[in-house]
Structure 1
Amino acid sequence: MFIRSLFTLVALALFAGSAIAQDIPAKLAPVGKGPLVGKYAAKGVQIYVCSAKGSANEWDFEAPEAELIDARGRLFAKHYAGPTWEALDGSKAVGKVLANEPAPKAGAIPWLLLSTQSSGSGVLGGAHFVQRVNTSGGVGPTGACPKAGTEQRVAYTADYIFYK
């Protein structure tokens, strides 16, 4: 409970300096975007798995695992492989990367623009675009990894902005 409350405070602080105040590169702007669904702070991990590549082992991105929190500090959705965002009402959006931009913060995963296919009649139903901005952390390990199948989870935060 304390962790959830602490995360809520962090999420609210993230919104104070989130995408509203940030410059989002033009190439990450959705073309013909519809109405804004919402902006959500995410906290979670980027999962990397050690894979055999010839005579060496290398880290490969596997999937994200995060929770998205709304401006009031309530859980909005879960984010997982696909990439998929699943709202509490059961509606889903599955993304495909259209554009990326290096994060302005060192050691942070890139900012993205994704097109989405959505399902369900809930809040994410009809969502067509997602932006991932204001990232922190999440960059995968570098160099050879110890053994194929080894997993490493790297903490990250980001803001996700959904458009219809």
Structure 2
Amino acid sequence: MQAFVARAVPLVAALTLAACATTPPAPVFSQDALPDAVKVPAGHRVAMETVGVGEITYECRAKAQAAGSFEWAFVGPKADLQNRAGAKVGTYFGPPATWAADDGSRVTGAQLAVAPASAGNLPLQLVKANPATGAGALVGVAYIQRVATRGGVAPASACDAGTAGRREIVKYQADYILWKPV
């Protein structure tokens, strides 16, 4: 029996290595189908692909410089960031827009550009990241894209003098692609 095990272990190891060698690499996000306005400049690589699943809060407020008019105003997002396998790797919240990795690193950013998404979905977005705080995965992130958006737009319910101050929460999902210089 020992002789069988001694011959089987190297065979299993060789087969395992051969299987790994033929496994295709994990897909990497492509910007090809994105509008130019939200594409990350050349000289950057994808550092992390996340899926934000959460909610956006809106508040019914008087429109600035439009007496007697009201609108749903963006208050802020709150979402869990998951990797492509569905494991939680961080959070997204604001304002200011903040991506915080579970490893303690954190980055804020400012919007550079937006592009329309399909009806009922938040626009696509390109953000220029500020230098990260903490040590971890977000150190060195230069740009963040919001793509593949689902939901998140302002409520369709009435917003007028009678509802001023009321808050509503809207569910959303978006991919946040984080980029570092090459």
TM-score class, shorter: 0.7 to 0.9
Structure 1: any 5+ residue segments left out of the alignment? Answer: 1-17
Q: Provide the residue aligned with 1:57 in structure 2.
A: 70
Identity across the alignment (%): 34
SS at match of 2:138: coil
Q: Which runs of 4+ in 1 moved over 6 A?
A: none
Q: Are residue 144 (structure 1) and residue 171 (structure 2) matched?
A: no
Residue 92 of structure 2 is aligned with which of 75, 79, 95? 79
- Residue type at the aligned position of 2:177: I
Matched with 1:124 is 138
- CA distance in structure 1 between the aligned counterparts of 2:125 and 2:43, rounded to whole angstroms: 15
Query: So what's the TM-score if we normalise by structure 2?
Result: 0.73
The answer to whether structure 1 residue 155 and structure 2 residue 171 are counterparts is yes
Among 35, 39, 43, which residue is 2:45 paired with?
35
* SS of residue paired to 2:37: helix
Deviates more, 1:88-97 or 1:139-148: 139-148
Which of 5, 20, 24 pairs up with 2:34?
Answer: 24
Task: Give 3-state SS (helix, strand or coil) of 1:27's partner.
Answer: helix
The 8 Å contact of residues 29 and 46 in structure 2, kept in 1 or not, is answered as no
Structure 2 match to 1:94: 108
Contact persistence 1:109–1:139 (CA under 8 A) = yes
Secondary structure of 1:35's counterpart equals: strand
CA distance in 2, matches of 1:27, 1:57: 30
How many residue pairs get matched? 148
Once the two structures are superposed, residues 99-150 of structure 1 have per-residue CA deviations (whole angstroms, 9 ceiling, x without a partner) of 11000x2100100000011222210111110000010111102452443321
Inter-partner Cα distance in structure 1 for 2:138 and 2:31: 24
Secondary structure of 2:44 counterpart: coil
C-alpha contact (below 8 Å) 1:33/1:163 kept by paired residues = no
Q: CA deviation at 1:91?
A: 0.7
Task: Find the aligned partners of 2:93 and 2:37 in 1 and give their Cα distance.
Answer: 25
